[in-house]
Amino acid sequence: MTLPAAAIDEWYPVAMAPDRPLRPDQETTLLGERVRVLLDGQEPRVEANDGRNLPVIVRHGHVWTSLGAPKHDLFAIPEGEQPGRRLVECGAIRVRCSPLRAVENFLDIAHFPFVHTDILGSEPHTEVNRYEVRIREEVDEVWATKVTFYQPQAAKSAQGGITTEYMYRVPHPTCSVLYKTCPPRPGEWDIITLFVQPLEEDLCQVWPWMALFDDQTPQADLIQFQQMIFLQDRSILENQIPRLLPLDPGMEMPTRADLTSVAYRRWLKKRGYHYGAQLVAA
Amino acid sequence: MRPTLYDYVLSPSCYKARLMAALVGSELESVAVDFHPGGDHRKPEFLMLNPAGTLPVLTHGGLILTETTAMLVYLVRLAGRCEWLGGEDPASAARVQQWLAFSARLTASLGLARLHDMLGRPADIDAARWAGTLCLRELESALVENRLLGEDFLAGNAPTVADVACFPYVMLAPDGGVSLDPYPAIRAWTRRIRALPGFVEMPGIHRLHDLRPEPGEAEAAA
Amino acid sequence: MASVCGTLEVAVWRSASGRVAAWVDRCPHRGMRLSHGFVRGEMLSCIYHGWRFDGAGRCRKIPAHPDLDPPETIRTQSLACLDAQGVIWIASEAPAVAPPDLGNVVPLRSLTFEAGIDAVAAMTGEVPDRSLLRLDAHGPVPPLVLLLQALGPGRSAVHALAAPTGTGALVAASRALEDFRRRTEAQGIAA
């Protein structure tokens, strides 16, 4: 299959950055092609199946590469550079689903009471209040703001239930950045990201990464909190039919709570990003 | 002083200890070990505690336990809830042991398939899934026979450590690409376990929402 | 629970009062399998966002919008479904004929075979007729009725019912079915 430029000329995460506990010389898959992540001293190098060297960026705790020639830089997360933040790489979790379904689920809050019960949501607090969504044309990103939800245990550092405020940002077809109320430091945002490496159209590897204000919680607990949340989603993601994300309306039925996903699907369609998507209702 | 569990949230074996403690109403101190991605269970400090480099580890005073089934027995006796050890007669006691040993086969098959599919660990995935399927068929048949005899659990009419030892890897079989759709008796058994008082979940095992009243209908139903 | 009807994946569920229903295994909202859902009273809710459907498949509640009365157009895709003689029967459209009379039998167990229904039928020496086979009594094993359901090209479900008898004979029948499965699957590997 020939891959469209929109998918080829894009940056994707393939490993954790080399200053983290990394197993060098790892083989992995990107868009159906085998690639190898090697270390030249401390410098990561990524090699394609045919031996050619692929472009590399080390940023946001991960090694990013591309099978093509990206015309743009990898997105920045300026708030992540603030002093005092704990940077937490969570490793990769593999999921048998479209990379786009993994991102869409990350943008969804209405599932919290049923999938992350008594942690990110609980009955009867199921209502999704009105929030704002727009595609910021100047940066070509999807943004959802003023998202609020009642959460019994919003973060590892949270003591009891709070109404949490969220902002979602989609700067990349398979990546999203979440800005979230920071329990120990009101006024600041915790940053939780989902970087998705598309292995195949219906198989992906998810690299959660966080930049938090939290001096108390041990690193292993922070990682495991995030892995716990993501693994609760995994059995959902592996059981959606069809596996590919339907971009045409008609196949699935959104409500007002799904405005972010509606904008995300429209944005993907506009960019011509169809890897992991289904265009015509089957 | 409470026992301390060296714990990894995604490990079904660690979950066995957490579940057992919850079912007998005990509390554990938990120390999170960065199994993935950190690999801390292979680092020198951890190997001082458990040279086998496996999780979980349970410590209490001077006692260090590294085998999960031993932890289940210890937690039950510590709580004085010996009914979880099964009947005293030779056959009942042996049936519990039979399933405790069987649980190791679940770990080696379904557990391996899950590590492969979820964390990308190397495995002969087809062989692991087929070995898991054979285990599930054995379990299904045993549960069918138990039901014919009027028994709801693996070693009789009450839950024991045997059920706790077998439940997690069975329930999480789909994580490794092995469906539970072909096993109605297993699914009914997992629902009975999930409905036990004190039951706690782990990621991949959802809350049995059926047991809670629908908001707004609570009083009407009661 | 999940099942299959021809090429359709199906969710089959039973309400608190005992009503059974069969739907295409897909929530109209985000495609989640409804067979993962939960049952409260007479309704089934999808595990993903809790959308709640009545026995006729109509959406009655969307928890994200508790005050909204969901439009009538939001519904699951229903199949014909019948609970009779201890068996749940499904069909993509209601058939004109009733299920066959199984005689005096009680449900024993259901097994999945890694073999197509023709291969299973061939092992019994019978030609499949309405996917219903009879196995004669053998030693302690009572006479059995086997209902065959195609799950895919090389897969089938065998739903076994037995003439009422003692527990020991039913256990023997359950073991005989496993033996039958091993022989059927071995035949497939040999062929």
Using alpha carbons, list the distances in angstroms from residue C170 to A97, B93, B95, B142, B184.
42, 25, 21, 13, 17
Q: Give dist(CA C5, CA B205) in Å, integer.
A: 27
Give domain C2-91's CATH architecture. Answer: 3-layer Sandwich (2.102)
CB contact under 8 A, A240 and C63: no
pLDDT of res. C187:
87
Q: Give dist(CA B79, CA B69) in Å, integer.
A: 16
Q: Which residues contact C7 (CB under 8 A, 6 or more apart)?
A: none
Q: Would you say C150 and C161 are in contact if contact means Cβ atoms under 8 Å apart?
A: no
Partner B contacted by C1 (CB < 8 A)? yes
Considering only alpha carbons, which residue of chain A is nearest residue B118? Answer: A94
End-to-end CA distance of chain A: 20
Residue C14 CB coordination number (10 Å): 14
The first and second tokens of residue A41, run together, are 């001293």
Residue range C106-190 in CATH 3.40.50: no
Compute the nearest-CA separation of C31 from chain A (Å): 5
CB contact under 8 A, C1 and B209: no
Of C29, C45, C68, the CB nearest to A253: C29
Q: Give dist(CA C131, CA C145) in Å, integer.
A: 10
Length of chain A: 282
End-to-end CA distance of chain B: 40
Q: Give dist(CA C61, CA C80) in Å, integer.
A: 24
Residue A23: pLDDT band by 50, 70, 90 thresholds? Answer: low
ipTM tops the 0.90 cut: yes
Q: Is B122 exposed, middle or buried (0-12, 13-18, 19+ CB in 10 A)?
A: exposed
Q: Give dist(CA B174, CA B206) in Å, integer.
A: 13
DSSP B58-98: EEETTEEE--HHHHHHHHHHHTT-GGGG--SSHHHHHHHHH
pLDDT of res. B218:
60
| Residue A93: half-sphere exposure toward Cβ, Cα within 13 Å | 29
Q: Give dist(CA A39, CA A252) in Å, integer.
A: 44
CB contact under 8 A, A110 and C64: yes
Chains that touch C (3 or more CB pairs under 8 A): A, B
Lowest mean pLDDT among A94-103, B95-104, B180-189, C122-131: C122-131
Q: Chain B interface, mutation test: which of C44, C109, C113, C165, most B Cβ atoms within 10 Å?
A: C109
Of C41, C111, C112, the CB nearest to B214: C41
Compute the nearest-CA separation of C95 from chain B (Å): 26
**C38-49 residue pLDDT tens:** 999 999 999 999
**Chain B 167-196, residues with CB within 8 Å of chain C CB atoms:** 181-182, 184-185, 187
Q: Which residues pair with C82 in a beta bridge?
A: C89
Of B148, B181, B214, the CB nearest to C171: B148
Rounded to 5 degrees, φ, ψ at C117 are: -65, -30
Q: Please count the helices (runs of H) and the strands (runs of E) in chain C.
A: 2, 13
Considering only alpha carbons, which residue of chain B is nearest residue C4? Answer: B181
Rounded to 5 degrees, φ, ψ at B193 are: -70, -45
> If you count residue pairs, one on B and one on C, with CB atoms under 8 Å apart, how many are there?
46
Q: Chain A interface, mutation test: which of C7, C38, C48, most A Cβ atoms within 10 Å?
A: C48
**C134-150 residue pLDDT tens:** 777 777 888 899 999 99
Residue A18 has pLDDT above 80, yes or no: no
Considering only alpha carbons, which residue of chain C is nearest residue A124? Answer: C63
CB contact under 8 A, B118 and A94: yes
Residue C13 has pLDDT above 90, yes or no: yes
Compute the nearest-CA separation of A112 from chain C (Å): 8
DSSP A278: E
Q: Which residues pair with C152 in a beta bridge?
A: C155
Give the mean model confidence (pLDDT) for residues A127-151. Answer: 96
Q: What is the dihedral of CA A123, A128, A129, A130, to 10 degrees?
A: -170
Q: What is the dihedral of CA B111, B114, B115, B121, to 10 degrees?
A: 120
Of A124, A127, A235, the CB nearest to C65: A127
Delineate the domains of chain B, giving CATH numbers in brackets.
4-81 (3.40.30.10), 86-194 (1.20.1050.10)
Residue C19 CB coordination number (10 Å): 12
A109 or C133, which is more confident?
A: A109
CB contact under 8 A, C36 and A255: no
DSSP C28-92: TTT-B-GGG-EEETTEEE-TTT--EE-TTSBEEE-TTSTT----TT-B--EEEEEEETTEEEEES
pLDDT of res. B51:
97
Considering only alpha carbons, which residue of chain C is nearest residue A240? Answer: C32
Q: Which residues contact A166 (CB under 8 A, 6 or more apart)?
A: A109, A144, A147, A148, A149, A178, A179, A180, A181
Q: Give dist(CA B6, CA B58) in Å, integer.
A: 6
| Peptide linkage before B56 cis (omega within 30 of 0) | yes
CB contact under 8 A, B37 and A114: no
Q: Would you say A47 and A54 are in contact if contact means Cβ atoms under 8 Å apart?
A: yes
CB contact under 8 A, B208 and C38: yes
CB contact under 8 A, C48 and A236: yes
Q: Which fold has domain A82-278?
A: Naphthalene 1,2-dioxygenase Alpha Subunit; Chain A, domain 1 (3.90.380)
Instruction: Please enumerate residues of C whose Cβ is less than 8 A from a Cβ of A.
Output: 9, 25-26, 28-33, 36, 45, 47-50, 62-66, 68, 74
CB contact under 8 A, A126 and C64: yes
pLDDT of res. B221:
46
Q: Which fold has domain A1-74?
A: N-terminal domain of TfIIb (2.20.25)
CB contact under 8 A, B32 and A92: no
Give the mean model confidence (pLDDT) for residues A71-88. Answer: 94
Using alpha carbons, list the distances in angstroms from residue A274 to A107, A242, B34.
18, 15, 36
**C22-79 residue pLDDT tens:** 999 999 999 999 999 999 999 999 999 999 999 999 999 999 999 999 999 999 999 9
Q: Give dist(CA C145, CA C138) in Å, integer.
A: 13
Percent of chain B scored above 90 by pLDDT? 96
CB contact under 8 A, A205 and B8: no
Q: Would you say B6 and B17 are in contact if contact means Cβ atoms under 8 Å apart?
A: no
Contacts 24+ apart (CB under 8 A), B212-219: B212/A123, B212/C40, B213/C40, B214/C40, B214/C41, B214/C43, B214/C52, B215/A123, B215/A124, B215/A126, B216/A124, B217/C40, B217/C41
pLDDT of res. B217:
83
Q: Please count the helices (runs of H) and the strands (runs of E) in chain A.
A: 5, 17
Give the mean model confidence (pLDDT) for residues A163-183. Answer: 95
Q: Which residues pair with C12 in a beta bridge?
A: C22
Q: Which of B16, B36, B123 is nearest to B76 (CA)?
A: B16
Q: Which of C3, C108, C65, B114 is nearest to A129 (CA)?
A: C65
CB contact under 8 A, B206 and A223: no
CB contact under 8 A, B10 and A224: yes
Residue A281: pLDDT band by 50, 70, 90 thresholds? Answer: low
Give the mean model confidence (pLDDT) for residues C106-117. Answer: 96
Which chain C residues are closer than 8 Å to A110 by Cβ?
A: 49, 63-64
Listed by start position, the domains of chain C span 2-91, 106-190
Which chain B residues are closer than 8 Å to C52 by Cβ?
A: 214
CB contact under 8 A, C1 and B185: no
Q: Which residues pair with C129 in a beta bridge?
A: C132
Residue B22 belongs to what H/E stretch?
Answer: helix B12-23
Q: Would you say A11 and A277 are in contact if contact means Cβ atoms under 8 Å apart?
A: no
Listed by start position, the domains of chain A span 1-74, 82-278
Residue B222 has pLDDT above 50, yes or no: no
pLDDT of res. A20:
63
Q: Which residues pair with A148 in a beta bridge?
A: A165
Compute the nearest-CA separation of B184 from chain C (Å): 7
pLDDT of res. A220:
96
CB contact under 8 A, C41 and B217: yes
Give the mean model confidence (pLDDT) for residues A125-130. Answer: 96
CB contact under 8 A, A114 and C49: yes
CB contact under 8 A, A228 and B212: no
Residue C101 CB coordination number (10 Å): 8
pLDDT of res. B91:
96
Residue C130: pLDDT band by 50, 70, 90 thresholds? Answer: low
pLDDT of res. B208:
95
The one-letter code for the residue type at B143 is L
Q: Would you say B109 and B178 are in contact if contact means Cβ atoms under 8 Å apart?
A: no
CB contact under 8 A, A110 and C66: no
Residue A21: pLDDT band by 50, 70, 90 thresholds? Answer: low
**A237-279 residue pLDDT tens:** 999 999 999 998 888 999 999 999 999 999 999 999 999 999 8
Residue C166 CB coordination number (10 Å): 11
Which chain B residues are closer than 8 Å to A27 by Cβ?
A: none
Rounded to 5 degrees, φ, ψ at B151 are: -105, 140
Chains that touch A (3 or more CB pairs under 8 A): B, C
Averaged confidence pLDDT in chain A? 93
The first and second tokens of residue A201, run together, are 């159209």
Q: Would you say B154 and B99 are in contact if contact means Cβ atoms under 8 Å apart?
A: yes
**B24-49 residue pLDDT tens:** 999 999 999 999 999 999 999 999 99
Considering only alpha carbons, which residue of chain B is nearest residue A126? Answer: B215
The first and second tokens of residue A28, run together, are 């992995």
**B151-166 residue pLDDT tens:** 999 999 999 999 999 9
Which chain C residues are closer than 8 Å to B213 by Cβ?
A: 40
